[in-house]
Homo-oligomer: A and B are copies of this chain.
Amino acid sequence: MLLRIDPASPIPLFEQLAASVRSEASRGNLRSGDRLPSARDVADSLDINVHTVLRAYQVLRDEGLVDLRRGRGAVVTERVAHYSELGEAIPRLVASAKEIGLGAHTLTAMIRQEYDS
């Protein structure tokens, strides 16, 4: 499990953490049943607050990517398979957008708009 964060990024720390886990999932580096490192461990090694890590885990729980239980930790669910399915379609769309010269923000805004319509 590779968890990277950039404290200088405008993107919230907990979002960066969640994104890191999703990234591992979409690359096939996570399997159903795998256990993420404990929040306190991650917090210590990245020198951030436990709540920040927990919040990232809760986001992933709300998505259904992990199960979260006291004493046990965060365990990857079967839904991890869905994430790797998009490991192709997403890069393709992003490549198109980059060719056209669209920024990340513009692209995500258009997707959100389409999602709500």
Q: Which residues of B contact A113 (CB under 8 A)?
A: 19, 22-23
B interface footprint on A73-117 (CB within 8 Å = 1, 0 otherwise)? 000000100110110011101101110111110111111111111
* Contact present for B82 and A100 (CB under 8 Å): yes
A108 contacts which of B64, B98, B102, B112 (Cβ < 8 Å)? B112
Interface size class of A (residues with CB under 8 A): 35 or more
Q: Which positions 48-88 of chain A face chain B at CB distance < 8 Å?
A: 63-64, 79, 82-83, 85-86
Quick one: closest B residue to A116, CB to CB?
Answer: B104
Which of A22, A26, A111 is most buried by chain B, counting CB atoms within 10 A of its CB? A111
* Contact present for B111 and A104 (CB under 8 Å): yes
Indicate if A43 sits at the interface (CB-CB under 8 A): no
Indicate if A5 sits at the interface (CB-CB under 8 A): no
Q: Which residues of B contact A108 (CB under 8 A)?
A: 108, 111-112
Write the residues of chain A forming the contact surface with B, with a CB cutoff of 8 angstroms: 11, 15, 18-19, 22-23, 26, 63-64, 79, 82-83, 85-86, 89-91, 93-94, 96-98, 100-104, 106-117
